Amino acid sequence: MSIIMLFLFILFPIAFGVFYYRHSKKIALMIMGIPLLIILSLGSWIIYEMNHQFVKSTYLNNEGLGEISLFDTVDEYFKAAHGPYTTSENVFYKESLYFSNFHVGTNEENKIIYLRAIDETMSTRKGIRVGVPIQKVKDVYGENFYSIVEQGMDVIGYIDRENQVNIQFWHYEGHVIEIRMFYGR
């Protein structure tokens, strides 16, 4: 089927335009321009569908995971209160800390600018946690989301442009498997 469509909408107009070029250059160029218009239209639509720049803003100012929010301070008290952790180097964050059920990244002022939940114990302020159906996310946060595939996983995300906050729900087989929040990226 796709070979027929390729021939019908791409190759045939080009071949017909080349053949007709001797009779009328204007008509031939218009006919040969049809494939270009089709390719540009399809390419534009794909970019529009995949790009979060075209999604309406969703208010996420007070959003967080569990009792942790973006811009909370990570100090010795925070580290002690949330149990043992490991660190890793990261180009995006001053400090990257891995706790048993969540991960945080900090800026130069030790404020959380990245927050990631990987198990069911932490939920967003609106009650979404790992394991819920992705349809519930759409029902709670609305239809103004973007869809991407990152690291082979399907992701839907919501953006708060005014506060520069982004929340992503990674999902597999219709259920949330990871929640990520970040500031400014």
What DSSP line would sit under 51-88, residue for residue?
-GGGSPP---TT-EETTEETT-B--HHHHHHT---EEE
Over residues 75-89, mean pLDDT: 91
Name the residue with higher pLDDT: 4 or 82: 82
Please report the pLDDT score of residue 14 as a whole number. 75
Residue with tokens 């006919």: 31
What are the boundaries of each domain within the chain? 2-45, 53-183
Residue 93 phi/psi, 5° resolution? Answer: -130, 145
pLDDT band at 7 (very low <50, low <70, confident <90, very high): low
Please report the pLDDT score of residue 112 as a whole number. 96
- The domain 53-183: what is its CATH number? 3.40.33.10
Say whether pLDDT at 30 is over 90: no
Residue 73 Cα to chain centre, angstroms: 26
Say whether pLDDT at 8 is over 80: no
Question: Any idea what the Cα angle at residue 168 is, between residues 113 and 165, rounded to 5°?
Answer: 40
Per the document, the length of the chain is 185
Tell me which residue of 53, 69, 62, 64 sits closest to 161, measured CA to CA. Answer: 53
- pLDDT tens digits, 98-150: 999 999 999 999 999 999 998 899 999 999 999 999 999 999 999 999 988 88
pLDDT band at 56 (very low <50, low <70, confident <90, very high): confident
Neighbours of 2 (CB within 10 A): 6
Please report the pLDDT score of residue 1 as a whole number. 60
